[in-house]
Protein backbone atom coordinates (compact mmCIF):
# COMPACT_ATOMS: atom_id res chain seq x y z
CA UNK A 1 0.00 0.00 0.00
CA UNK A 2 1.28 3.44 -0.87
CA UNK A 3 2.64 5.48 2.06
CA UNK A 4 3.72 9.08 2.52
CA UNK A 5 7.07 9.24 4.24
CA UNK A 6 10.07 11.35 5.10
CA UNK A 7 13.35 9.49 5.01
CA UNK A 8 16.94 10.42 5.72
CA UNK A 9 16.12 13.96 6.78
CA UNK A 10 18.97 15.14 8.97
CA UNK A 11 18.74 17.61 11.82
CA UNK A 12 21.37 18.96 14.17
CA UNK A 13 21.40 18.13 17.86
CA UNK A 14 19.75 21.51 18.48
CA UNK A 15 16.98 20.69 16.05
CA UNK A 16 17.82 22.53 12.83
CA UNK A 17 17.39 21.02 9.38
CA UNK A 18 19.36 23.84 7.74
CA UNK A 19 21.74 26.43 9.10
CA UNK A 20 21.51 30.22 8.94
CA UNK A 21 22.55 32.40 5.99
CA UNK A 22 21.61 30.10 3.11
CA UNK A 23 23.22 31.04 -0.21
CA UNK A 24 23.77 29.47 -3.60
CA UNK A 25 27.24 28.47 -2.44
CA UNK A 26 25.90 27.09 0.86
CA UNK A 27 22.34 25.90 0.10
CA UNK A 28 21.99 24.36 3.59
CA UNK A 29 23.23 27.49 5.30
CA UNK A 30 26.35 28.05 7.34
CA UNK A 31 27.81 24.67 8.37
CA UNK A 32 24.69 22.91 7.05
CA UNK A 33 26.63 20.52 4.84
CA UNK A 34 28.17 19.00 7.96
CA UNK A 35 24.75 17.58 8.86
CA UNK A 36 25.18 14.80 6.33
CA UNK A 37 28.42 13.21 7.46
CA UNK A 38 26.54 9.99 8.19
CA UNK A 39 25.22 9.79 4.62
CA UNK A 40 27.94 10.98 2.25
CA UNK A 41 30.28 8.04 2.81
CA UNK A 42 27.64 5.31 2.50
CA UNK A 43 27.60 2.90 -0.40
CA UNK A 44 24.02 3.91 -1.21
CA UNK A 45 24.92 7.59 -1.61
CA UNK A 46 28.09 6.88 -3.55
CA UNK A 47 26.21 4.58 -5.92
CA UNK A 48 23.81 7.41 -6.78
CA UNK A 49 26.74 9.24 -8.34
CA UNK A 50 28.22 6.34 -10.24
CA UNK A 51 30.78 5.17 -7.70
CA UNK A 52 31.15 1.58 -6.55
CA UNK A 53 32.72 2.06 -3.12
CA UNK A 54 31.26 3.24 0.17
CA UNK A 55 30.62 2.22 3.74
CA UNK A 56 28.10 -0.37 4.83
CA UNK A 57 26.39 -0.91 8.16
CA UNK A 58 23.41 0.77 9.85
CA UNK A 59 23.94 4.20 8.25
CA UNK A 60 23.94 2.62 4.80
CA UNK A 61 20.96 0.43 5.68
CA UNK A 62 18.90 3.52 6.53
CA UNK A 63 20.07 5.32 3.39
CA UNK A 64 19.07 2.35 1.22
CA UNK A 65 15.63 2.06 2.84
CA UNK A 66 14.88 5.59 1.67
CA UNK A 67 14.82 4.47 -1.96
CA UNK A 68 12.69 1.36 -1.55
CA UNK A 69 9.32 1.26 -3.34
CA UNK A 70 9.39 4.93 -4.32
CA UNK A 71 6.86 6.15 -6.87
CA UNK A 72 7.12 9.93 -6.49
CA UNK A 73 8.78 12.74 -4.54
CA UNK A 74 7.54 16.08 -3.25
CA UNK A 75 9.91 18.92 -2.44
CA UNK A 76 9.83 22.63 -1.75
CA UNK A 77 11.14 25.12 -4.25
CA UNK A 78 14.14 25.97 -2.04
CA UNK A 79 15.25 22.35 -2.25
CA UNK A 80 15.06 22.50 -6.05
CA UNK A 81 17.20 25.61 -6.31
CA UNK A 82 18.17 29.10 -5.14
CA UNK A 83 16.06 31.08 -7.64
CA UNK A 84 13.46 33.29 -5.95
CA UNK A 85 10.35 34.95 -7.35
CA UNK A 86 9.14 34.43 -10.93
CA UNK A 87 11.37 32.14 -12.99
CA UNK A 88 13.54 34.44 -15.14
CA UNK A 89 14.10 31.59 -17.62
CA UNK A 90 14.45 27.80 -17.68
CA UNK A 91 18.21 27.74 -17.21
CA UNK A 92 18.11 26.48 -13.60
CA UNK A 93 17.60 22.72 -13.75
CA UNK A 94 18.36 21.71 -10.15
CA UNK A 95 21.47 21.05 -8.10
CA UNK A 96 22.05 17.53 -9.39
CA UNK A 97 23.24 17.76 -12.99
CA UNK A 98 21.69 16.07 -16.02
CA UNK A 99 20.76 12.86 -14.21
CA UNK A 100 19.26 13.65 -10.77
CA UNK A 101 19.09 10.80 -8.22
CA UNK A 102 15.26 10.59 -8.17
CA UNK A 103 14.31 8.60 -11.31
CA UNK A 104 10.57 9.11 -10.71
CA UNK A 105 8.22 12.12 -10.96
CA UNK A 106 9.11 14.94 -8.56
CA UNK A 107 6.51 17.56 -7.59
CA UNK A 108 8.02 20.92 -6.67
CA UNK A 109 5.96 23.33 -4.57
CA UNK A 110 6.15 26.87 -5.94
CA UNK A 111 4.10 30.05 -6.33
CA UNK A 112 5.31 30.55 -9.91
CA UNK A 113 4.30 28.34 -12.82
CA UNK A 114 6.83 26.57 -14.97
CA UNK A 115 6.60 23.85 -17.61
CA UNK A 116 7.58 20.31 -16.56
CA UNK A 117 11.29 19.60 -16.76
CA UNK A 118 12.32 16.19 -18.06
CA UNK A 119 15.78 15.00 -17.08
CA UNK A 120 17.88 11.95 -17.79
CA UNK A 121 17.21 8.74 -15.86
CA UNK A 122 13.43 9.10 -15.63
CA UNK A 123 13.27 12.16 -13.36
CA UNK A 124 10.58 14.67 -14.34
CA UNK A 125 10.14 17.83 -12.27
CA UNK A 126 6.54 19.08 -12.13
CA UNK A 127 5.98 22.55 -10.69
CA UNK A 128 2.83 22.78 -8.56
CA UNK A 129 1.31 26.18 -7.79
CA UNK A 130 -1.94 24.99 -6.15
CA UNK A 131 -0.51 24.05 -2.74
CA UNK A 132 0.42 20.98 -0.74
CA UNK A 133 -2.88 19.15 -1.17
CA UNK A 134 -2.69 19.39 -4.95
CA UNK A 135 0.93 18.25 -4.95
CA UNK A 136 0.05 15.23 -2.83
CA UNK A 137 -2.92 14.29 -5.01
CA UNK A 138 -0.78 14.46 -8.14
CA UNK A 139 2.01 12.52 -6.46
CA UNK A 140 -0.42 9.77 -5.38
CA UNK A 141 -1.68 9.43 -8.93
CA UNK A 142 1.84 9.27 -10.33
CA UNK A 143 3.15 6.88 -7.67
CA UNK A 144 0.45 4.21 -8.02
CA UNK A 145 1.31 1.57 -5.41
CA UNK A 146 4.71 3.18 -4.77
CA UNK A 147 5.47 5.38 -1.79
CA UNK A 148 5.65 9.16 -1.85
CA UNK A 149 8.74 10.66 -0.26
CA UNK A 150 8.60 14.18 1.13
CA UNK A 151 12.09 15.42 0.45
CA UNK A 152 12.18 18.74 2.25
CA UNK A 153 13.07 21.32 3.11
CA UNK A 154 11.99 22.10 6.63
CA UNK A 155 8.95 24.20 5.71
CA UNK A 156 7.58 21.53 3.39
CA UNK A 157 7.89 18.75 5.97
CA UNK A 158 6.30 20.92 8.67
CA UNK A 159 3.29 21.65 6.46
CA UNK A 160 2.68 17.97 5.74
CA UNK A 161 3.26 16.97 9.37
CA UNK A 162 0.65 19.45 10.57
CA UNK A 163 -1.92 17.95 8.20
CA UNK A 164 -1.06 14.45 9.55
CA UNK A 165 -0.64 12.88 6.12
CA UNK A 166 2.91 11.63 6.76
CA UNK A 167 2.79 7.95 7.68
CA UNK A 168 6.43 7.52 8.67
CA UNK A 169 9.38 9.82 9.25
CA UNK A 170 13.01 8.78 9.55
CA UNK A 171 15.18 11.48 11.11
CA UNK A 172 18.96 11.29 11.43
CA UNK A 173 20.17 13.42 14.32
CA UNK A 174 23.71 14.57 13.61
CA UNK A 175 26.02 15.28 16.59
CA UNK A 176 26.65 18.90 15.62
CA UNK A 177 25.28 22.25 16.77
CA UNK A 178 24.17 24.83 14.21
CA UNK A 179 23.01 27.47 16.67
CA UNK A 180 20.26 28.74 14.39
CA UNK A 181 18.56 28.23 11.07
CA UNK A 182 15.37 26.32 10.26
CA UNK A 183 13.92 24.34 13.17
CA UNK A 184 12.08 21.20 12.08
CA UNK A 185 9.88 20.41 15.08
CA UNK A 186 9.58 23.65 17.04
CA UNK A 187 5.95 24.20 18.02
CA UNK A 188 4.74 20.87 16.59
CA UNK A 189 3.13 18.51 19.11
CA UNK A 190 3.85 15.13 17.56
CA UNK A 191 2.07 13.02 20.21
CA UNK A 192 -1.07 15.13 19.84
CA UNK A 193 -0.91 14.55 16.08
CA UNK A 194 -0.76 10.80 16.71
CA UNK A 195 2.93 10.09 16.17
CA UNK A 196 5.21 7.84 18.22
CA UNK A 197 8.81 6.64 18.08
CA UNK A 198 9.03 3.10 16.71
CA UNK A 199 12.78 2.69 16.11
CA UNK A 200 15.95 4.15 17.61
CA UNK A 201 19.41 3.24 16.30
CA UNK A 202 22.56 5.13 17.38
CA UNK A 203 25.68 4.99 15.20
CA UNK A 204 29.04 6.74 15.32
CA UNK A 205 27.87 9.56 13.02
CA UNK A 206 24.15 9.92 13.76
CA UNK A 207 21.21 8.73 15.80
CA UNK A 208 18.50 7.29 13.58
CA UNK A 209 14.93 7.72 14.81
CA UNK A 210 11.80 6.43 13.07
CA UNK A 211 8.53 8.15 13.96
CA UNK A 212 5.30 6.47 12.87
CA UNK A 213 1.69 7.62 12.77
CA UNK A 214 -0.53 5.48 14.98
CA UNK A 215 -3.45 3.73 13.34
The answer to whether the CB of 125 falls within 8 A of the CB of 117 is yes
Asked if residue 77 belongs to a domain, the reply is yes
- Strands, E, within the chain: which ranges? 4-12, 16-18, 70-76, 105-109, 117-118, 124-128, 147-152, 168-174, 182-183, 195-202, 207-213
Asked if residue 90 belongs to a domain, the reply is no
pLDDT tens readout for residues 40-92:
999 999 998 888 889 999 999 999 999 999 999 999 999 998 888 999 999 99
Nearest to 170 by CA among 139, 147, 143, 144: 147
- pLDDT above 70 covers a percentage of the chain that reads 100
Asked if residue 184 belongs to a domain, the reply is yes
| pTM of structure | 0.94
pLDDT tens readout for residues 143-174:
999 999 999 899 999 999 999 999 999 999 99
Asked if residue 53 belongs to a domain, the reply is yes
Asked if residue 147 belongs to a domain, the reply is yes
Residue 1 pLDDT exceeds 90: no
CATH code where residue 39 lies: 3.40.430.10
Q: Domain count for the chain, please give it.
A: 1
Asked if residue 33 belongs to a domain, the reply is yes
Residues spanned by the domain of 37: 4-83+98-213
Asked if residue 89 belongs to a domain, the reply is no
Amino acid sequence: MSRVRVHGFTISLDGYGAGPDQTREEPLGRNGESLHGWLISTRTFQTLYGKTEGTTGPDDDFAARGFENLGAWIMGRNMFGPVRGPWPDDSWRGWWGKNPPYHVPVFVLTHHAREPLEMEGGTVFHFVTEGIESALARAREAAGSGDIRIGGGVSTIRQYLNTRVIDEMHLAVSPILLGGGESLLSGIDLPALGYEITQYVPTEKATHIVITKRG
